[in-house]
């Protein structure tokens, strides 16, 4: 499988294309319940030692993009701590096993990043249990679609901001105090920061905020030798989508409008997170890397 993913081929046909079955799940959703199952790199990502000796904390590491990043980091030689919601334990257990199968240390840190005490404490605990912290990937996100502006609830608006922005701020503050020169912070923004959809306009607002915060933080932390960058995904096939991130009637054709005619698979974005964490990205900071299926960011 690993060799097949790297074999030159038509990228439009490399992974499943719509239509997909409707598959409603309760929030936060589990990757194991999706059809087709996403490719996070479980058998398809092959490492080459780019992160040997690094110690990383990844939030939202149980499924989706965070899971793909965790697998890639372990296969590149890093020890990895995972933050995730307790309800996501079944998916997280699978990731822990995959990390340990690479001979790397895996640390499970379940909790809710909307709680300030947990969000700050998880960074410190990851550093303590890993014996240091070199890379902080702030990836956990909340996305809930609504039919119109007047349907968005104050409760969901609050949860979206607390998950996507407050937690980012809390963890970045703690990370800035702990990461050494050469360390890296990687955030997850979105094409929604540039091309917002009305059904998730409050989510799009937070993603635009992540872009601004990342750029400002990069300017400050380079004075400590810490690089800060963001990755902006387009439509990716993750548990976020069927668990309310999209209106359910849009799931069958999810990703069909991209230039590839399909959504991205999490394993396809993981190498960008590897680059931004590695010494190969030594002259990159304050940047937003779009992986959008050809839509670009501007």
Q: Please name every residue paired with 230 in a beta bridge, in sequence order, or none if there are none.
A: 187, 288
Choice among 84, 203, 273, 289 that is catalytic = 203
Compute CA distances 17 → 68, 246, 252, 254, whole Å. Answer: 20, 17, 10, 9
What domains are defined for the chain?
51-291 (3.40.50.720)
Average pLDDT, the chain: 95
Among 162-166, 225-229, 246-250, the minimum mean pLDDT is found in 246-250
Is 118 considered catalytic here? no
171-166-34-193 Cα dihedral, nearest 10 degrees:
-110
Residues 73 and 51: beta-carbon distance below 8 Å = yes
pLDDT above 60: residue 62: yes
Q: What is the CA radius of gyration of the chain?
A: 18
Q: Is pTM beyond 0.75 here? A: yes
pLDDT band at 1 (very low <50, low <70, confident <90, very high): very low
Task: Write down the pLDDT at residue 141.
Answer: 95
**pLDDT (tens digit, 9 = 90+) per residue, 72-96?**
999 999 999 999 999 999 999 999 9
């Amino acid at each position: 499988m690993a060799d097949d993913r790297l074999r030159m081929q038509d990228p439009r046909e490399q992974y499943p294309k719509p239509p997909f079955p409707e598959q409603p799940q309760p929030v936060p959703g589990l990757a194991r319940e999706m059809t087709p199952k996403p490719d996070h790199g479980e058998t398809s990502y092959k490492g080459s030692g780019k992160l040997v000796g690094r110690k990383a904390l990844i939030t939202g590491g149980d499924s989706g993009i965070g899971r793909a990043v965790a697998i890639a980091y372990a296969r590149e030689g890093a020890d990895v701590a995972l933050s995730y919601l307790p309800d996501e334990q079944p998916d997280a257990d699978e990731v822990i096993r995959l990390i340990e199968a690479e001979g790397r240390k895996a640390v499970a840190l379940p909790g809710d990043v909307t709680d300030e005490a947990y969000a700050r404490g998880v960074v410190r605990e990851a550093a303590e249990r890993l014996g240091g912290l070199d890379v902080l990937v702030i990836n956990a996100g909340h996305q809930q679609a609504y039919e119109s502006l007047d349907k968005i609830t104050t409760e969901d608006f609050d949860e979206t901001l607390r998950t996507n922005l407050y937690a980012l701020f809390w963890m970045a503050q703690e990370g800035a105090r702990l990461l050494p020169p050469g360390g890296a912070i990687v955030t997850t923004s979105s094409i929604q920061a540039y091309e917002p959809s009305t059904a998730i306009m409050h989510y799009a607002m937070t993603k635009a905020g992540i872009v601004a915060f990342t750029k400002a933080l990069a300017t400050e932390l380079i004075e400590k030798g810490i690089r800060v960058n963001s990755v902006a995904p387009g439509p990716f096939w993750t548990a976020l989508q069927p668990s309310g991130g999209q209106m359910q009637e849009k799931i069958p054709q999810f990703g069909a409008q991209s230039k590839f005619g399909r959504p991205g698979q999490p394993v396809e974005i993981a190498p960008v997170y590897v680059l931004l964490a590695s010494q190969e990205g030594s002259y990159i900071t304050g940047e937003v890397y779009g992986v959008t299926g050809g839509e670009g960011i501007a």
